[in-house]
Amino acid sequence: MAKRSLSEEEQGLNLTPLIDCVFLLLIFFMVTTVFKQPYTLQVQLPEATKASQIEEKKLVGTVTIDGRVEINRNLVTSGELETVLLREKQDTGSLTLILRTDQQTRHKHMLEMLEVAKRVGVEKIVLATDDQQVEISKE
């Protein structure tokens, strides 16, 4: 009878290596995951009906309702806006600015960003909207 119980144990499936593999995969995916850095200034983007996706690295400018400005997730004052935008343009090598503004942002704050972008040589300005982006022609 002892032989019979030993053979029944050998017929069972050993799950230890499978559990080890699952833990190794879990650790691999946790280590290799890239986390998206949140924006410092939160704005409520307007919606757009027609747009095109932009995939390459660009300059991103954010303007809030009260006129606070952020360039590539760095808060800047209006006095240093031009130098920071020029530096970021040179660092990224991009001639496109994605402008994120709140729905309620005053035109004064947005126009200041557009004028500075024109002075530093930005060729294309894209308005960010909810899930999509709309391109503004340069004229």
* Average pLDDT value for residue range 107-118: 86
- Helix 107-120 × helix 81-92 angle, to 10°: 50
DSSP label of 78? T
pLDDT value at residue 7:
58
DSSP label of 39? P
3-class secondary structure, 83? helix
Taking only the tens place, the pLDDT of each residue in 73-85 is 889 988 898 898 8
Taking only the tens place, the pLDDT of each residue in 2-18 is 555 555 556 677 888 88
How far does the chain reach from its first CA to its final CA, in angstroms? 93
pLDDT of 57 strictly over 80: no
Residue 79 in tokens: 């006095």
pLDDT value at residue 72:
87
67: β partners: none
pLDDT value at residue 132:
54
Instruction: Please state, rounded to an integer, the average pLDDT across all residues of the chain.
Output: 79
| The 74-76 sheet, strands edge to edge | 74-76, 69-71, 59-63, 96-101, 124-129, 132-136
Q: Which of 37-46, 47-56, 61-70, 80-89 has the lowest mean pLDDT?
A: 47-56
State pTM to two decimals.
0.57
CA distance 72 to 61: 6
Taking only the tens place, the pLDDT of each residue in 39-50 is 777 888 778 777
